[in-house]
Amino acid sequence: MATKMVTKSAAVFGSCPLPIFDHQQIVLGHGSGGKLTADLIDQVFLPAFKNPILNKLDDQAVVTVGSSRLAFTTDSFVVTPIFFPGGDIGRLAVHGTVNDLAMSGARPLYLSAAFILEEGLAVDDLRRVVESMRAAAAEADVQFVTGDTKVVNRGKGDQVFITTTGIGVVEDGVNISADRARAGDQIILSGYIGDHGMAIMSQRENLEFEGAIVSDCASLHGLVASMLSTPSSRGKEFIHCLRDPTRGGAATTLNEIAKRSSVGMLLREQSIPVRESVRGACELLGLDPLYVANEGKLLAIVAPEMAPAVLRQMQQHPLGADAAIIGEVVTDHPGMVLMKTQIGGTRVLDVMFGEQLPRIC
Amino acid sequence: MKYLDEYRDGDVAQKIVGEMRRIQTRPWVLMEVCGGQTHSIVKNGIDHLIPEGVELVHGPGCPVCVTPLEMIDKAHAIARRPNVIFCSFGDMLRVPGSEGDLFTIKSLGGDVRVVYSPLDCLKIARANPSKQVVFFAIGFETTAPANAMLAWQAHEQQVTNLSLLVSHVLVPPALEAILQADDNRVQGFLGPGHVCAVMGYREYEPISARYQVPIVVTGFEPIDILHGTLMTLQQLEEDRAVVENQYSRVLGPDGNGAAQKLVNRVFEVTDRKWRGIGMIPMSGFQLRDEFARQDAEKLFDVAEIATLEPEICISGQILRGIKKPHDCPAFGTLCTPQRPLGATMVSAEGACAAYYAYGRHLQPGKPLHQIASAETLGVPAGRGD
């Protein structure tokens, strides 16, 4: 074994460092939204499915049908536990898909829902999930118009998996995509980060923190509509990019935009809103809130002259009350996100590699 | 956040750095011993804040990093067994052995679980009486008391299906090994705050005296590290070499007596192999004979597994402060956290992994404060250049 390893290293050393795709099996990190997920997309999915719409790798596709521009997206939900502080898998399944539509500036219209149920799931639990899906859809003013149900053997699923697909309509003049960030643009975050991820973790791992951490899961299209309604003399193109930083957190999302737009980003650590309770829990576990998942937050890249007005508009909306400008887009270091630390140093924020793991000490 | 933000204050940092500039007359090489300190230095950009002639090199204090590859292979051999529940701290899961990591073993059906406290294993053992529960007990003096408590309780409560795979190491013998080497560059140490919270710092006094090297026991927040660096610098400039305590808000000279008593009751000092460094005599803990029934290495018959490291890896030199991660041609290309070739890339606290996580591989050779357009946000660049 030892000989084999040494030979292997020596043989590849000095040759072109091609991307290495070592995993012969899927590991959990492939679903984390970080580097492993990106590898899987690049090396397995894109080669098979590539086309100009998919290649944009936005959270939704915007397609033109007749004279309408439709936003179209799908998302699967596999969270454990299925009920958590501030929400449940049903709410998440509605908000997640609505938000993916909203991030194109679309008005969400219709959803589908597909359920994979594990044998033995309590029907009352399913009712609770479905009821909260109904409530979340009503809040978001969308309707479920089609669906599907499958049941798998006990042990072949984890209570309930839900896939939702959504379509929405994008108004004329709205042009939002991750490749539109320009130097000088301001980076706006809609509120406190890390709430959802830490709520799930505290529940999953039975960690009891002082002051419960509650998931932020919410549908963001109302906030987006409000942002788009900011009075402007130059149409609606002032919002260049929108993303909801779910898996992989704010740092991973900003890296995706920086790479897609070939721009650099410079953040100020002190301007990034993180709740005391979330910061405390992250400190304790050795996690970084910038890489923790959110389900009700958005990052907006906005033209500099419009940024203060958009920020004010956001702060008047309940889901944007704590919004802040956290940094700006720069020409230097394209594809990289840097941050001025609280102490005055500089740090690079790379994409998350796999799952964030609690540190040993 | 209270008790944290005070130690992350940019104005205080500038004052400390100003004082460093005032007293420094020549270049110095200091080593921070702990991986947690390395992480904090790179995360906060402290190495770019301090004066140019003060070099911080990164020490051996990353518990996951220095765990030998063969011990990881032993852990994996145990974790692959069908009747085993293998419990570990989270950051050990991604560390590759000769064949994959614990995540891979989990994906192939192994029962691998992350625990936050070693004592969680007792609950798991009681809930699964037909399974063998094995805890991967690694770390420095910091984690030794909690791991000792697990062995002690399993022993006292006669929990027969619980054992520990022990790979514990000790800081003082590693510092001596660094100082004894012919190519040593280290002139002063930022001592390991958490280790000393358990053990106190009296055992560092003979080392400081024998090698005439300042050792300042230091905390982990940015201001702690800057303050510890300044205190070490003051000693060097004044030609003093003693043990001092920067982290007095947490620890005193004698450490935690109750913890030490428990550790000594359960463990005895033994020779240990360090990943990247090699064998250091009397540099670790093993379970005492009385706890043989809790010793997974004996129960699972894995003592024979022996593995060599890839030759290209320079982590031994990095762990001893001879080289920096970007001195390695494989850093960030062949050797990444996804596919680490050696000790210092395997754990988040390892110097190479910390450099990678904070993007130091993306613009090699170009200092971050130059590429950061630091003036853009009206924040002064770290160094006065």
CATH no. for residue A82? Answer: 3.30.1330.10
Size of interface A-B (CB pairs under 8 A): 196
Chain B residues whose beta carbon lies within 8 Å of the beta carbon of residue A2: 98, 306-308
State the CB neighbour count (10 A cutoff) for residue B380. 12
> Which residues span the domain enclosing A149?
58-170
Selection from B175, B178, B180 nearest residue B195 by Cα: B175
- What average pLDDT does the segment B91-96 reach? 82
Domain assignment present for A219? yes
Quote the pTM value: 0.80
pLDDT at A54: 93
Contact map slice: B 295-314 vs A, CB within 8 A: 306-308, 310-313
Domain assignment present for B376? no
ipTM at complex level = 0.72
Identify whether residues A118 and A234 lie together within a single domain: no
Identify whether residues A105 and A160 lie together within a single domain: yes
pLDDT at B341: 80
Chain A contact for B194, CB < 8 A? Answer: yes
In this prediction, residue B303 has a pLDDT band, given cuts at 50, 70 and 90, of confident
Identify whether residues A219 and A323 lie together within a single domain: yes
Domain assignment present for A119? yes
pLDDT at B377: 36
Domain assignment present for A129? yes
Identify whether residues A113 and A154 lie together within a single domain: yes
Length of chain A: 361
Total domains in chain B come to 1
Q: Helix A89-102 vs helix A221-228: angle between axes, to the nearest 10 degrees?
A: 20
pLDDT at B48: 87
Selection from B146, B80, B70, B114 nearest residue B306 by Cα: B70
pLDDT at A80: 85
Q: Report d(CA B174, CA B110) in Å as an integer.
A: 35
Domain assignment present for A97? yes
Contact map slice: B 27-56 vs A, CB within 8 A: 36, 42-46, 48-49
pLDDT at A178: 93
Domain assignment present for B377? no
Contact (CB<8Å) A338/B36: no
Domain assignment present for A286? yes
Q: Determine the residue of chain A that is closest to B100 in CA distance.
A: A23
Chain A contact for B76, CB < 8 A? Answer: no
Ranges of residues in chain A whose predicted pLDDT is under 50: 1-21, 361
Chain B residues whose beta carbon lies within 8 Å of the beta carbon of residue A348: 358-360, 362, 368
Identify whether residues A91 and A195 lie together within a single domain: no
Residues pairing with A213 in the sheet: none
User: Nearest-CA distance from A102 to chain B in Å?
Assistant: 31
Chain A contact for B318, CB < 8 A? Answer: no
Identify whether residues A263 and A318 lie together within a single domain: yes
pLDDT at B76: 95
Average pLDDT of chain B to the nearest whole number: 89
Q: Report d(CA B246, CA B221) in Å as an integer.
A: 12
pLDDT at B97: 85
Last residue of one domain, picked from the residues A170, A201, A219: A170
Domain assignment present for B16? no
Locus of tokens 């460092």: A17
The CATH number of the domain where A235 resides is what? 3.90.650.10
Last residue of one domain, picked from the residues A170, A197, A226: A170
The percent of residues above 90 in pLDDT, for chain B, comes to: 65
Residue with the larger pLDDT of the pair B367 and B264 = B264
The CATH number of the domain where B213 resides is what? 3.40.50.11740
Domain assignment present for A23? no
Locus of tokens 């999915």: A45
Q: Determine the residue of chain B that is closest to A345 in CA distance.
A: B45
Domain assignment present for A35? no
Check if the beta carbon of residue B190 is closer than 8 Å to that of residue B228: yes
Identify whether residues A270 and A165 lie together within a single domain: no
pLDDT tens, position by position, B197-210: 999 999 999 999 99
Contact (CB<8Å) B372/A332: yes
Q: Which helix (H) or strand (E) holds B39?
A: helix B35-44
Domain assignment present for B10? no
- What average pLDDT does the segment B163-169 reach? 96
Identify whether residues A150 and A201 lie together within a single domain: no
User: Nearest-CA distance from B214 to chain A in Å?
Assistant: 25
Identify whether residues A236 and A285 lie together within a single domain: yes
Identify whether residues A141 and A229 lie together within a single domain: no
Chain A contact for B120, CB < 8 A? Answer: no
Identify whether residues A135 and A237 lie together within a single domain: no
pLDDT at B111: 96
Locus of tokens 């009206």: B378
Nearest beta carbon to residue B382 from set A9, A36, A344: A344
Contacts of B372 (CB under 8 A, 6+ apart): A266, A332, A333, A338, A340, A346, B381
Selection from A356, A18, A8 nearest residue A194 by Cα: A356
Locus of tokens 């643009």: A185
Domain assignment present for B195? yes
In this prediction, residue B336 has a pLDDT band, given cuts at 50, 70 and 90, of confident
Total domains in chain A come to 2
Identify whether residues A87 and A148 lie together within a single domain: yes
Contact (CB<8Å) A1/B307: yes
State the CB neighbour count (10 A cutoff) for residue A266. 24
pLDDT tens, position by position, B127-153: 999 999 999 999 999 999 999 999 999
Domain assignment present for A227? yes
Contact (CB<8Å) A360/B1: no
Chain A residues whose beta carbon lies within 8 Å of the beta carbon of residue B347: 360
Residue with the larger pLDDT of the pair B366 and B293 = B293
pLDDT at A360: 53
> Which residues span the domain enclosing B282?
29-358
Chain A contact for B115, CB < 8 A? Answer: no
Contact (CB<8Å) A341/B337: no
